[in-house]
Homo-oligomer: A and B are copies of this chain.
C-alpha cells in the first residue's frame, strides 16, 4: 500500500495523490474526494519511515533512566511524558542500567536519528558521555547532574540543588533543637550523595556543631540496607543522638522498623527527616517530614527545554530546582 497504488487505481499522478492526502498544495475538490475515498477503500496508511526519511523528523524522544524498577523515577517519567505528549511526541523509555555502555548506546541512537532528541538521567556523569552527546550535535537534556557547559553546547541541564536540599533538612532539625544528627546517605562516590553530605557539613559548621564522620552512615537507598546498618549501629553505640536525616523515604522506613523493634519512639526519642516525599511519607506512622525534590517538575522542565531546542533554540541553558521541605509528625517537637 502506497500512494503509487492509489495513483494507479485513480489514474491520477502520484503528486496529486500526495497533495490530496497530505492536504498541502493544490488539488481540486472532486479529485481530492475521489482520492480520499479510494484511500479509505484500499485501507491506505502513510508509511512513517518514509516520512521520517524525507522530513528528518521522527516525533520521538528517548528518555533514559538508570533503573527502570526504581519507583523514584516514576514521577519523572510522568513529568517528561506530560509535555511531550501535548506536543505530539512519543516518549521511549530506555533503561541504561547504570552502565556507561548503555548510555553511549542510547546517545548513538540519537546520532542515528532514531529519535529527535534525548533526555538522560545519567548515573555517573563523565566527560565520556558529555563528549559523546556533543559529537551528535543534536538536541539533548541532562537531568540531575551537572558537569560543565559551554554556551554553544547542544544540550541543556536541569538539576536539583542537593546541597541546599540537605541544608534544609539538617537546619530544620537543628532549629528544632537537635545537637547530634545522624546522616544516612548513599555511596560517597556518587555525586548526589557527596553533594548532600556537603550540605550537611555546611549546616553543622554554621551552627558550630562538631562533625563526627562515624555518624555518617552509607547505605544504598534501600529499606533493608538501612534496617541492617541502623541495627548494627545501635548495637555498638548508645542512643545519644537526637536527630536523623535519611536520603530517601525507603531508608526512613528501615530505620523506623528498627525503632519499633527496640522500642525507640519517633519523634520522642529523636526527630527524623527524609527525602523524596513519596506517598509513603504520608501513609506511614509517624508521618514523615520529607524533602520534596519535585521529580515531576524536573522531568517536565527537562522536556520543556528539549522542546525549545527542537523549536530552534541554540544557546545552551540550565535550570535549577529548589527543593521543598514538608514538615510532618516525625520531626514534631
Chain A interface (Cβ < 8 Å from any Cβ of B): 43, 45-50, 52-53, 58, 60, 62, 68-69, 71, 74, 77-78, 81, 85, 90-95, 108-109, 111-114, 135, 253, 279-280, 283-285
Which residues of chain B come closer than 8 Å to A279, judged between CB atoms? 71, 280
Which residues of chain B come closer than 8 Å to A60, judged between CB atoms? 92
Given contacts A77-B68, A78-B69, contact A53 B47 (CB under 8 A): yes
Closest to A58 in B: B49
A90 touches which one: B50, B92, B135, B284 (CB < 8 A)?
B92
Would A113 and B49 count as touching, CB distance under 8 A?
yes
CA distance A285 to B46 in the complex (A): 56
Which residues of chain B come closer than 8 Å to A47, judged between CB atoms? 53, 112-113
Would A93 and B91 count as touching, CB distance under 8 A?
yes
Which residues of chain B come closer than 8 Å to A53, judged between CB atoms? 47, 49-50, 53
Would A285 and B285 count as touching, CB distance under 8 A?
yes
Which residues of chain B come closer than 8 Å to A58, judged between CB atoms? 49
Would A81 and B95 count as touching, CB distance under 8 A?
yes
Would A114 and B48 count as touching, CB distance under 8 A?
yes
Would A71 and B74 count as touching, CB distance under 8 A?
yes
CA distance A185 to B112 in the complex (A): 48
Would B91 and A92 count as touching, CB distance under 8 A?
yes
Which residues of chain B come closer than 8 Å to A93, judged between CB atoms? 77, 81, 90-93
- Other than A52-B52, A81-B93, A280-B283, give 16 A-B pairs with Cβ distance below 8 A: A43-B135, A45-B108, A45-B112, A47-B113, A48-B109, A50-B53, A53-B53, A68-B81, A71-B71, A71-B279, A74-B74, A90-B93, A91-B92, A92-B93, A93-B93, A284-B284
